[in-house]
Amino acid sequence: MKSEDKKAAITAYKERKTVAGIYVVRCGASGQAWVGQTPNLDTIQNRIWFGLRMGSHANRDLQSAWAAHGGDSFSFEAIERLKDEELAYVRDALLKERAAHWRSTLNGLAI
């Protein structure tokens, strides 16, 4: 890869837009739901699934359900996408507020 191609790729990566939002992980076998928030909805499912497959996810309840029912019982859904927000602290406060709303609506647990 040429130097200018590499620089262009790095610049494009840094300038990419991410979508913040709220997501839910559901276990079809037990009916449980876990609601979380993230500044990047495009990458969070891979991160969660990787941690669960490795047995190292930080949420012990979710990890236990994964071990008991297997990965095929789980689904991931982005339930709310936030509008683009320039200020990180405003985005983070809005994410917390919306995640709390969805936890109470879905009777879900926090991730």
Domains and CATH numbers, the chain: 17-110 (3.40.1440.10)
Q: Give this prediction's pTM.
A: 0.85
Q: Give the Cα separation of 68 and 89 in Å (integer).
A: 38
Task: Report which DSSP code applies to 81.
Answer: E
Note down pLDDT in tens along the chain; length 111 residues. Answer: 788 888 888 888 777 788 999 999 999 999 999 999 999 999 999 999 999 999 999 999 999 999 999 999 999 999 999 988 778 899 999 999 999 999 999 999 999
Q: Could you tell me if 57 and 6 are in contact, meaning their C-beta atoms sit under 8 angstroms apart?
A: no
CB-based burial, 83-92: b 16+ in 10 Å, e otherwise: eeeeeeeebe
pLDDT at 15: 77
